[in-house]
Amino acid sequence: MKKVGLALGGGTALGLAHIGVIEILEKNKIPIDYISGTSSGAIIGALYASGMNISDIKKIAETTKWENLVDFKIPIKGILSGDRLEKFIRVLLKNKTFEELDIPLAVIATDIYNGEKVTFRKGDVASAIRASISIPSIFVPFRYQNRVLVDGGVVDPVPVEILKKMGADITIAVDLSKPIKNISIKSTSGKSKRFMKKIEKKMIEQELDEINKYASNHKASIPWFLQSILNHPQKIFDYLLKKRLKTPKLLTITSNSFEIMVNALSKYALLNADYVINPTLNKFNRFDFDKSKEIINSGKKATTRSIKDIKKLIK
């Protein structure tokens, strides 16, 4: 029987569509012999390759409070450290290595200094995913051995080629790119996305927490009037929430720029696929984690439309 490889592209929240894709493939008894993934595609691919039931993966996607996994830093190398998300993934994977997975997996990252594609197929899976999700300027780059790594989407947004090297006879790719006109996240919109509002609050909470830690460690050097202000954290929080820009501009600009780049690169990567599944994601953006059910359903619908063609291809 022909060996099937599944390539899962990146797309932050849009990557949840992969769950719907896998659900329908599994329902129709389409074998998945190899998986490759970039960024969010690496996360979903790793969970499934680890042996986790697709219904459990769906439940995690729909119930996780994703805003609790962000951890802001002073933006020198990135505004998110990525440590909380890595720990979360590590727990879900039970610290598995690539060698312990039920399905062979490849995770893609990029060496930021020489532009080389870095393919992980051995060792710790959670570390590989941490490297693969590191969108430049948003996540702090991941240091691995003598390399500094960022999101695999910089060089290979839908990793199809590696599947052939792994042994796949047929390659199915999931393309999460959208028309350019549907890409932008509008930071000037009067109604901010619910998730972005939660992110904004988390940012302020973490800033206040850092201020309070500093204050508790330097009580003797802080003037009395400043200490009296710090004794009313809710007032400070309300003030910052009112005065702060509704969406962090760096997050918006970087995300839009990165998605436009990935959109262009995906066209070339998909030329090597035997079949491409295209979920309709025009009405969603990369940070619509509160719309996980709808995004997963988009993956299900697209795969259901494609299932007859996929079965013919495999036969």
Report the chain's terminal Cα–Cα distance, integer Å.
Answer: 8
- Of residues 111, 151, 156, 175, which has the active-site annotation? 151
Cβ atoms 156, 117 nearer than 8 A: yes
- Of residues 33, 36, 39, 306, which has the active-site annotation? 39
Beta bridge partners of 142: 149
216 classed as catalytic: no
Q: How far apart are CA 289 and CA 189, in angstroms?
A: 18
Write the CB contacts of 9 (distance below 8 Å, at least 6 apart in sequence).
15, 38, 39, 41, 153, 157, 158, 173, 174, 175, 176, 177, 262, 266
151 classed as catalytic: yes
**Which of 184, 232, 240 has the alpha carbon at shortest distance from 207?**
240
Dihedral angle over CA of 19, 25, 29, 32, nearest 10: -80
User: Catalytic amino acids?
Assistant: 39, 151
